[in-house]
């Protein structure tokens, strides 16, 4: 899957959560999940389940807390959907 | 003073189901009475294994002798949600002992502190919590440490346990925010268990999916106890990220959750155009935080009854439940039987067999003449439906049911040299989700000592470090740094946000 496509779909999922709307405009790859996006534990759960459902992948032996930035998540999804 | 009756719940189910609901004086008496009828049915499903009621009794019987002979009555249980927890808990309470249920995420220092303060005779642990017992082993050799896999060669049957014998000690933020251990008698736990059956169309022989912790009354009483009592199967979801995968496998009919989870399931169902709760889901019991009425309507459209309820740790979980959520979506329902209530200056006061005996080692400032003051402001309509209108206590209740005491969290940040004063409050994110905001007034006398270019980064870093050290549910999601003082009351206290933002 193309990087841009992954990014757009990830944005859709993040918009389901408690993330700050203004952060989702423009490039999101450098954002840090906890510090910048301010995802709560429920927000994290939305994101994990949303990603698994949207991309048909499964987080194996990793949790969202193992990722620092949105780019790390995009890289992971990219590798999983190759 | 009013005493609600069970009869007014009759119309919400068939006479056959209603008349099957009967109370027992102790968990042990209930367990002995129901076991023959459900022996071969699945009681617990966990980690790929199904355990029948008979198997659960067999395993509990082998565990009872390990605790029944111990001096003292309080047995700590430090085990995450699992079949093993159920076996140990059931063995302890049907041996006539008191289960002190420790949240499994407690740090070792807190496990030690509770062991001492509550005078535990023993602490039962499992592989996941074993390392948290080292401090207790070293400094409190009088507390026996028992592994959950130990078993006796001479099984013992469930004992005869009187109704007033303490059954469990549950941890609660109480009405002041400080963590306390509430003692619930066998009679109280059974009253909560049985009241959980009222006002629901189908209650016996259900398939429950457990997502709440057993260390919370909503998980222990409304999930586990009512599930056992009704001969239902309880599937233990060990990791919430596998929730919807577990649902697809187990196909539950019944779910007990906090509003945040019900809302998540709904949002994801809409997003992905399918019912994420599975085709068999019929009933969702929702509580521990305010339930948004739109959730009730949206679930009704999916053919699922979402029933709101209200309760406290101190009332063995259940005070009221709403059998008519759709008609009265703002209400937390009808008061359950077995309790008396009155309303003083708008505040709900409770008394009855469902109420706790008190807190361990604490003065109980919330009780007066045997009445428990809930701290919740209520009104009751002419049909007897209860509404929560506010609180007398400064506690933020998050949609996931966690209680956060702002004062407790603020004290952590106020301890920083660079922080003069701060306030934690609840706000809404752009999509309406409640979030925690910390507003900080920097201490300029200290901040001014730093080079100007470093000031804001240092302040942010110090605050972030404290935030990261807190349990995740107490962490703020947004930080606001003030450049002028807070609005204040005449006594110079911060005029709290909730009061002037409205």
- Does residue B443 form part of some domain? yes
Q: Has residue A44 got a pLDDT over 90?
A: no
Helix (H, G, I), strand (E, B) or coil at A55: helix
Give the C-alpha separation, B57 to B410, whole Å: 47
Q: Do B455 and B413 reside in the same domain of the chain? A: yes
The residues near B283 (Cβ < 8 Å, ≥ 6 apart) are: B200, B201, B202, B206, B253, B254, B255, B304, B305, B307
CATH number at residue B230: 3.40.50.12780
CB A29 within 8 A of CB A71: yes
Region A32-53: what's the mean pLDDT?
A: 84
Q: Do B204 and B283 reside in the same domain of the chain? A: yes
Q: Which of B238, B399, B430, B464 is most worth mutating to test chain A (most A CB atoms within 10 A of its CB)?
A: B430
Q: Do B389 and B491 reside in the same domain of the chain? A: no
- How far does Cα B308 stand from its chain's mean position? 15
| R_g of chain A computed on alpha carbons | 11
Q: Which of B262, B266, B429 is most worth mutating to test chain A (most A CB atoms within 10 A of its CB)?
A: B429
Q: Do B493 and B378 reside in the same domain of the chain? A: no
Domain termination site, one of B340, B364, B394: B394
Yes or no, beta carbons of B464 and A17 under 8 Å apart: no
Residue B301 is predicted with a pLDDT of: 94
- Does residue B400 form part of some domain? no
Confidence (pTM):
0.83
Q: Has residue A35 got a pLDDT over 50?
A: yes
Q: How confident is the model at residue B489 (pLDDT cuts 50, 70, 90)?
A: low
Region B369-385: what's the mean pLDDT?
A: 92
Q: Do B388 and B474 reside in the same domain of the chain? A: no
Give the C-alpha separation, B341 to B377, whole Å: 13
Domain-by-domain residue ranges, chain A?
A: 3-80
- Does residue B399 form part of some domain? no
Buried b (16+ CB within 10 A) or exposed e, B187-209: bbbbbbbbbbbbbbeebbebbbb
Kind plus residue range of the DSSP H or E element containing B167: strand B166-172
Q: Do B388 and B443 reside in the same domain of the chain? A: no
Least confident of A60-64, B231-235, B307-311: A60-64
Is A21 buried (19+), middle (13-18) or exposed (0-12) by CB count in 10 A? exposed
Q: Has residue B501 got a pLDDT over 50?
A: no
CATH number at residue B467: 3.30.300.30
Give the number of other Cβ atoms within 10 Å of residue A57's Cβ: 14
Q: How confident is the model at residue B240 (pLDDT cuts 50, 70, 90)?
A: confident
Q: How confident is the model at residue B493 (pLDDT cuts 50, 70, 90)?
A: low
| Contacting residues of A for B271, CB less than 8 Å apart | 12, 16, 50
Q: Do B382 and B238 reside in the same domain of the chain? A: yes
pLDDT tens profile B6-52: 999 999 999 999 999 999 999 999 999 999 999 999 999 999 999 99
pLDDT tens profile B282-336: 999 998 888 888 899 999 999 999 999 999 999 999 999 999 999 999 999 999 9
Q: Decide if A2 touches B, using CB distance below 8 A.
A: no
Region B443-465: what's the mean pLDDT?
A: 89
Average pLDDT value for chain B: 91
Task: Give how far B433 is from chain A: nearest CA, Å.
Answer: 6
Q: How confident is the model at residue B128 (pLDDT cuts 50, 70, 90)?
A: very high
| Contacting residues of A for B396, CB less than 8 Å apart | none
| More confident: B100 or A32 | B100
Q: Do B379 and B420 reside in the same domain of the chain? A: no
Residue B498 is predicted with a pLDDT of: 55
Region B185-197: what's the mean pLDDT?
A: 98
Q: For domain A3-80, which CATH number applies: 3.40.190.10, 3.60.20.30, 2.160.10.10, 1.10.1200.10?
A: 1.10.1200.10
- Does residue B158 form part of some domain? no
Q: Which of residues 19-78 of A touch B (CB under 8 A)?
A: 19-21, 35, 38-43, 45-46, 48-50, 52-54, 59, 63
Residue B433 is predicted with a pLDDT of: 78
Residue B502 is predicted with a pLDDT of: 34
Among A12, A18, A45, whose Cβ lies nearest the Cβ of B241?
A: A45
- Does residue B284 form part of some domain? yes
Q: Has residue B499 got a pLDDT over 80?
A: no
Q: Do B321 and B433 reside in the same domain of the chain? A: no
CA separation, residue B69 to residues A72, B92, B122 (Å): 55, 11, 11
Q: Has residue B174 got a pLDDT over 80?
A: no
Residue A63 is predicted with a pLDDT of: 79
Region B249-256: what's the mean pLDDT?
A: 95
The residue of chain A with its CA nearest to that of B427 is A18
Structural domain count of chain B: 2
Which residues face B372 on adjacent strands?
B350, B367
- Does residue B150 form part of some domain? no
The residue of chain A with its CA nearest to that of B261 is A42
- Does residue B15 form part of some domain? yes
For chains A and B, what is the number of CB pairs under 8 angstroms?
59
Q: Has residue B364 got a pLDDT over 90?
A: no
Yes or no, beta carbons of B429 and A19 under 8 Å apart: yes
Q: Do B190 and B220 reside in the same domain of the chain? A: yes
Start-to-end C-alpha separation, chain B = 34
Q: Do B433 and B385 reside in the same domain of the chain? A: no
Least confident of A23-37, B39-53, B131-145: A23-37
How much is the ipTM here? 0.87
Domain of residue B251 covers: 1-24+186-354+373-394
Q: Where are the beta strands (DSSP E) in B392-433?
A: 396-397, 403-404, 419-428
Which stretch, A27-36, B190-199, B432-441, has highest mean pLDDT? B190-199
Give the number of other Cβ atoms within 10 Å of residue B466's Cβ: 18
Residue B500 is predicted with a pLDDT of: 47
Give the C-alpha separation, A7 to A27, whole Å: 9
Yes or no, beta carbons of B429 and A63 under 8 Å apart: no
Strands B207-210 and B254-257: parallel
Q: Has residue B237 got a pLDDT over 50?
A: yes
Residue B17 is predicted with a pLDDT of: 97
Strands B367-368 and B233-236: unpaired
Q: Which of A49, A54, A61 is most worth mutating to test chain B (most B CB atoms within 10 A of its CB)?
A: A49
């Amino acid at each position: 899957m193309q990087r841009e496509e992954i990014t757009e779909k990830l944005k859709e999922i993040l918009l389901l959560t408690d993330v700050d709307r203004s952060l989702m405009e423009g490039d999101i790859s450098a954002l840090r999940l906890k510090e910048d996006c301010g995802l709560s534990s429920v927000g994290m759960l939305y994101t994990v389940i949303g990603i698994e459902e949207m991309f048909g992948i499964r987080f194996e032996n990793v949790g969202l807390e193992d990722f620092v930035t949105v780019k790390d998540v995009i890289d992971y999804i990219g590798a999983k959907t190759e | 003073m009013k005493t609600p009756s069970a009869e007014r719940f009759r119309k919400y189910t068939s006479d056959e189901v209603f008349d099957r609901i009967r109370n027992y004086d102790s968990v042990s008496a209930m367990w002995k009475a129901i076991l023959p009828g459900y022996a071969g049915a699945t009681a617990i499903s966990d980690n790929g294994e199904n355990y029948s009621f008979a198997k659960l009794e067999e395993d509990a019987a082998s565990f009872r002798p390990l605790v029944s002979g111990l001096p003292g009555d309080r047995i700590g249980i430090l085990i995450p949600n699992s079949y093993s927890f159920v076996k140990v808990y059931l063995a302890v309470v049907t041996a006539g002992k008191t289960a002190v249920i420790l949240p499994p995420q407690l740090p070792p220092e807190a496990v030690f502190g509770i062991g001492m303060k509550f005078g535990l005779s023993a602490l039962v642990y499992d592989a996941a919590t074993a390392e948290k017992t080292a401090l207790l082993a070293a400094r409190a050799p009088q507390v026996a440490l028992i592994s959950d896999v130990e078993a006796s060669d001479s099984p013992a049957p469930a004992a005869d346990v009187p109704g007033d014998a303490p059954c469990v000690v549950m941890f609660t933020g109480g009405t002041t925010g400080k963590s306390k251990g509430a003692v619930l008698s066998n009679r109280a736990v059974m009253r909560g268990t049985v009241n959980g059956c009222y006002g629901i169309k189908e209650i016996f022989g259900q398939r429950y999916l457990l997502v709440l912790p057993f260390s919370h009354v909503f998980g222990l009483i409304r999930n586990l106890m009512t599930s056992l009592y009704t001969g239902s199967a309880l599937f233990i979801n060990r990791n919430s990220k596998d929730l919807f995968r577990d649902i697809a496998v187990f196909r539950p009919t019944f779910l007990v959750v906090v509003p945040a989870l019900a809302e998540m399931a709904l949002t994801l169902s809409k997003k992905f155009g399918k019912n994420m709760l599975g085709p068999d889901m019929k009933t969702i019991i929702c509580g521990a935080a305010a339930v948004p009425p739109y959730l009730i309507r949206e679930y009704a459209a999916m053919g699922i009854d979402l029933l709101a309820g209200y309760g406290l740790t101190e009332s063995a979980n259940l005070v009221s439940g709403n059998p008519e959520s759709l008609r009265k979506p703002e209400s937390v329902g009808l008061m359950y039987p077995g309790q008396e209530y009155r309303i003083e200056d708008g505040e709900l006061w409770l008394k009855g067999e469902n109420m706790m005996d008190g807190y361990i080692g604490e003065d109980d400032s919330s009780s007066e003449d045997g009445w428990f003051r809930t701290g919740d402001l209520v009104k009751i309509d002419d049909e007897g439906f209860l509404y929560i209108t506010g609180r007398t206590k400064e506690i933020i209740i998050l949609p996931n049911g966690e209680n956060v005491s702002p004062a407790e969290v603020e004290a952590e940040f106020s301890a920083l040299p660079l922080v003069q004063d701060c306030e934690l409050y609840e706000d809404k994110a752009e999509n309406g989700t409640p979030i925690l905001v910390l507003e900080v007034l920097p201490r300029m006398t200290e901040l001014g000592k730093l080079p100007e270019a470093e000031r804001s980064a240092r302040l942010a870093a110090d605050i972030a470090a404290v935030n990261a050290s807190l349990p995740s549910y107490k962490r703020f999601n947004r930080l606001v740094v003030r450049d002028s003082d807070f609005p204040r009351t005449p006594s110079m206290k911060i005029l709290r946000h909730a009061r002037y933002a409205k």
